[in-house]
Structure 1
Amino acid sequence: MGQFIQKTSFSEKDFLAFQDKLHQCLEALELVLERPGFGLGEPSIGAELELYLLDGEGRPVLENQAVQDTYDDPTLTLELNRYNLELNFTPLPGTGAPFTALQQQILDNLAGLNQKMDPWQGQVLPIGILPTLQERDFGPQVMTDLPRYRVLAEAVQQRRQSTGIRIEGQDSMNLVHDDVTLEGACTSFQIHYRPRGQDMVNLWNATQLVTPLMVGVSANSPLLLGHRLWHETRVPLFCQSIDGLNSQSEHPVPPPRVSFGQGWLRHSLIELFRETVQLYPPLIPILSDEDPLAVVAQGGVPKLEELRLHDGTIWSWNRPIYDPCNDPHLRIEMRVLPAGPSAADMAANAALFIGLAQGLSEDVEPLLSALPFSYARTNFYRAAQHGMGASIYWPNAHQNSLEERSLAAVLEQLLPVAEKGLIQVGVNKEEAQTWLSLISDRLQSGQTGASWQLQQYNRLVGNGHGNHEACLQLLKAYCHHSNANVPVAQWPDL
């Protein structure tokens, strides 16, 4: 989004012109998607990883600009808060051993960045929410000083209808705060999957269907400001920091900009782009000089900068991406995974996510009538709250009523489906089995990053450590295991 944003103030005329341009972009996109062969190509896998910058005492380091300058790599970008950075990895062919290559990309970049943290005797860390954060780590003073973040923060604050954060949990939290930097506490590992070109509708629906499973098995964000909350606290924190408490009402208007979605897809991915235009008012109305319909009429591929910018201000947990560059195509961005715990865990999560979505896509249609979308949304929030211990509704094409099962049991049953899906993509069988075995180990141990953090916190507090000291001690152990690239299923107690 940053490439589009330098202007920071807008008139009503700007918004009206931008709205008109969005509808032109939609029309142009629909024409492009109707072209025979558009987007067909070999499968590819990309990823983005958001990181915390820490000093030797486990405190955030507000120097993302300095680290970026010394790293001197355009794939490293600044995030909303000054103690966060984002790595954008080179897309990999989906065939062969992509997850082994992805793990190596992660390890190489973490090692390079850690060298740049020497002035602070610290490191970069992949973790969903840093447990040692304190209230002073939020506010305008920690926001990265870039035009795109200033204008985004102002736009979000103007439309929020309530302030504060309220999250139920073992230590329920009520926080009076109206600053968008709370969203910056949530760091993620985002997967970009471009399929070979099969039915994108079924692939999208399968991706949505398995997303709650991925939330539960990858959970890594249980602690915020010393409160034990959801296994994936990023979900309610992100929702409320962008949309406010009123977003939790039954039919908020406009709909929340952070959401699991509005329903199962019916005919084409164009429906998802229409939703973003027709349901959500623009926040940042910056116009390009492109006439998208004229570009299409001349046989070209339009950039659709307005549509892409607007889509970047709507934070769906899965998102379709229109990429007009080089080899134009559509892909799916899987945005729900937390950062961490280790490079191995993140590679395994990517393999499972893509394998499940691909493996279920051919037979997903009968499952959709067996699970109304509202129940899939319920699964999503249950998984975020309870992790692998969640109970969810899972569809069966031969059912006569809704069936409720444990999330872990469903995943165990679906591991062969994930292996089949990866092999369909072109992943080597040995590669698929290697990474899915890490998921199997996690299921057998019952241990995710979230459950491990909670176990260590409870043990330390039970042994007389104060809240802050418990968070610091578990963070030091987390850093040790993460840096050693030990899969979380193997992490011992303190």
Structure 2
Amino acid sequence: MGRDLPQRDFTDEDRERFRARLRASLGLLDGLLTSPGFGAGEPTLGAELEMFLVTRDGVPVPRNEEVRRAAADPRLVLEVNRYNLEANLTPVPLRPRPFTALHDEADTLLEAVRRAGAAHGAEPYCAGLLPTLRPADLTRRNMSPRGRYAVIDDALGRAGRGLRVSGEQRLRMRSDTFCAQGAASSWQIHLTVRPEEFTRVHNAAQLMTAPVLAVAANSPLLLGRRAWDESRIPWYEQAFGQHRRRVAPADRRSGFGHGWLRGGVRELAEEAVRRYAPLVPLCSDGDWDRPLRPGGPPALDELRLHLGTLWWWNRPVYDPAGDGHLRIELRALPSGPTPADMVANTALLTGLVLDRAAREPGGELPFALA
């Protein structure tokens, strides 16, 4: 989902070919979901740790490419703005001690960033929002030197967007770029899920997101104003600009969703293909439905790329590595403040989700309650 893009401009023919491959991918996905061995491995837990680069006084340091290069660690990748970095942690088995492993790796990666950033006066800071940001820090001039973000920004449109957050204090800002999203950092959990369990686990994740987010909230300050206890949530959704175009909540590319899942990952994939126009219609070369290895599942590059341009709080992931598997990316928790905090939030969320999913439903709650 986070790969860079070698192409910036797309034709109508590119878009039509991409849409055709998306539709065909749904049929291939149907076959995969019923094929023996697909998604049958031991469950794993992974995470993405987003962070800010700041001075000791909290001033953003736009040197992510230099810090990443100095760290020389392939687990570190650039995020939207030049003071954002992301660390991709190694997936670990759900048993016996996943939280200890995630804690130790997050701690190691933050120390690596701290050492690499020292020459640039930068150190990592983990929180849902960087409270010292100013509006001038959220402009396109701060965008990371990575083609993916420029393509997405162009595709979303450069018309002025009005961002509004009302809480204890009100905040309004005009922006013509999704670089406003660079104010937010998350701790995103990846939980592998067997195809036959996907509906129950996804619905459990939808139900448990809000109470765990309430426990984890750490970002009340946004551009000098006190808004929500976790102001990252409304800011992130609005930074993609979908709210200003009279788009119905169910059609926005970021958000929580609009109902309980009934038909597994196929339902979400079909919704993604039917409801959302491709932002980045980049078709893979050669046989697009090819397996990564002989006898393996198809790559489905177009479907994976398309899903990566929908920023749902609980997002489906298809991964063709090995024999292939499905994941749910639990995206709502904030980064920080420490690895211990993030791992504790992970233990609470995954424990509640898996416990709820394992229970027989005893009457369905209204989705509006979630």
TM-score interval, smaller chain:
over 0.9
One-letter identity of the residue aligned with 2:190: H
Which residue identity does 2:356 align to in structure 1? L
Question: AA paired with 2:327?
Answer: R
What is the rounded CA distance, in whole Å, between the counterparts of 1:82 and 1:314 in structure 2?
A: 22
Q: Which residue in 1 is equivalent to 2:261? A: 265
Range with bigger deviation, 225-234 or 263-272:
263-272
1:364–1:145 Cα change, 3 Å: farther
Matched, 1:113 2:113: yes
C-alpha separation between the residues in 1 aligned to 2:200 and 2:51? 33
Tell me the alpha carbon deviations over residues 168-220 of structure 1, each in whole angstroms, 9 at most, x when there is no partner. Answer: 11110111222211111110000011146762211111111101112111112
Match of 1:154 in 2: 154
Instruction: Judge conservation of contact 2:10–2:281 (CA < 8 Å) in 1.
Output: yes
Bigger drift between 194-203 and 140-149 goes to: 194-203
1:186 corresponds, among 175, 184, 187, to 184
SS at match of 1:117: helix
Shift of 1:95: 0.5
- Structure-1 residue corresponding to 2:123: 123
1: CA distance, partners of 2:170 / 2:58: 24
Distance 1:149 1:187 in 2: 16
Query: Take 1:61 and 1:19, find their aligned partners in 2: how far apart are those partners?
Result: 40
1:167 and 2:165 aligned: yes
Query: Which whole-Å deviations, capped at 9, do the CAs of 1:364-418 have from their partners, x for residues lacking one?
Result: 5334x2x221332xxxxxxxxxxxxxxxxxxxxxxxxxxxxxxxxxxxxxxxxxx
Post-superposition CA distance 1:427-479 (Å, at most 9, x none): xxxxxxxxxxxxxxxxxxxxxxxxxxxxxxxxxxxxxxxxxxxxxxxxxxxxx
Please tell me whether residue 102 in structure 1 is matched to residue 102 in structure 2.
Answer: yes
Residue 322 of structure 1 and its aligned partner are, at CA, apart by: 0.6
Q: Which has the higher contact order (CA 8 A, sep 6+)?
A: 2
Q: For residue 93 of structure 1, report the CA deviation from its aligned partner.
A: 1.2
Correspondence 1:365 to 2:361: yes
- Give me the whole-angstrom Cα distance separating, in 2, the residues matched to 1:155 and 1:102: 35
More helix by share: 1
The amino acid of 2:214's aligned partner reads G
- Structure 1 position 37, deviation (Å): 2.9
The residue number in structure 2 matching 1:208 is 206
| Partner SS, residue 109 of structure 1 | helix
Output aligned runs, 1:429-444, within 5 Å: none
What is the alpha-carbon distance in structure 1 between the residues aligned to residue 358 and residue 101 of structure 2?
Answer: 27
Q: How far apart in 1 are the matches of 2:286 and 2:218?
A: 42
Cα gap change, 1:97 to 1:131, in 2 (>3 Å): same
Match of 2:352 in 1: 356
Q: How does 1:43-442 map to 2 (within 5 A)?
A: 43-157=43-157, 163-195=161-193, 199-246=197-244, 252=248, 255-289=251-285, 291=287, 300-363=296-359, 365-367=361-363, 369=364, 371-376=365-370
Call closer, same or farther: CA 1:123–1:176 in 2, change over 3 Å: same
TM-score by length of 2: 0.94
Provide, for residues 316-336 of structure 1, a one-character-per-residue CA deviation record: whole Å limited to 9, x for no partner. 000111110124111111011
> C-alpha separation between the residues in 2 aligned to 1:292 and 1:177?
37
Aligned pairs, number: 369
Shift of 1:38: 1.4
- Counterpart amino acid of residue 283 in structure 1: L
SS at match of 1:183: helix
Matched position secondary structure for 1:199: helix
The answer to whether the 8 A contact 1:205-1:364 is kept is: no
Relative to structure 1, the CA distance from residue 307 to residue 349 in structure 2 (aligned partners, 3 Å threshold; closer, same or farther) is same
Q: 1:235: Cα distance to partner?
A: 1.1
Higher strand share: 2
Once the 2 structures are TM-superposed, how far is the Cα of residue 291 of structure 1 from its aligned partner?
4.1
CA contact (8 A) 2:250 2:257 kept: no
**In the aligned structure 1, how far is the partner of 2:13 from the partner of 2:288?**
20
Whose Rg is larger?
1
Shift of 1:87: 0.3
Question: Is the Cα–Cα contact under 8 Å of residues 166 and 245 in structure 1 kept in the other structure?
Answer: no
More moved, 191-200 vs 234-243: 191-200
Task: Please give the per-residue CA displacement for 1:333-368, whole angstroms capped at 9, x wherever unaligned.
Answer: 10111001111110101111110000011225334x
- Give the 3 Å change call, closer, same or farther, for CA 2–68 of structure 1 in structure 2: same
RMSD across aligned positions (CA): 2.0
Distance 1:269 1:57 in 2: 45
What is the CA-CA distance between 1:294 and the residue it aligns to? 6.9
Question: What secondary structure does 1:3 align onto?
Answer: coil
How many angstroms does 1:2 deviate by?
A: 4.5
Unpaired runs of at least 5, structure 2: none
Whole-angstrom distance in 2 between the partners of 1:102 and 1:204:
22
Q: Contact 1:246–1:252 at 8 Å: present in 2 too?
A: no
Query: Contact 1:202 / 1:365 at 8 angstroms: preserved in 2?
Result: no
**Residues 336 and 290 from structure 1, CA distance in 2 versus in 1: closer, same or farther, beyond 3 angstroms?**
farther
- The residue correspondences of 1:7-18 to structure 2 (distance < 5 A) are 7-18=7-18
* 8 Å contact from structure 1 (residues 134, 225) kept in 2: yes
In the superposition, relative to structure 1, how do residues 244 and 178 fare at CA in structure 2: closer, same or farther (>3 Å)? farther
The normalised TM-score by structure 1 is: 0.71
The secondary structure found in structure 2 opposite 1:21 is: helix
Equivalent-residue separation in structure 2 for 1:213 and 1:29 (angstroms) = 33
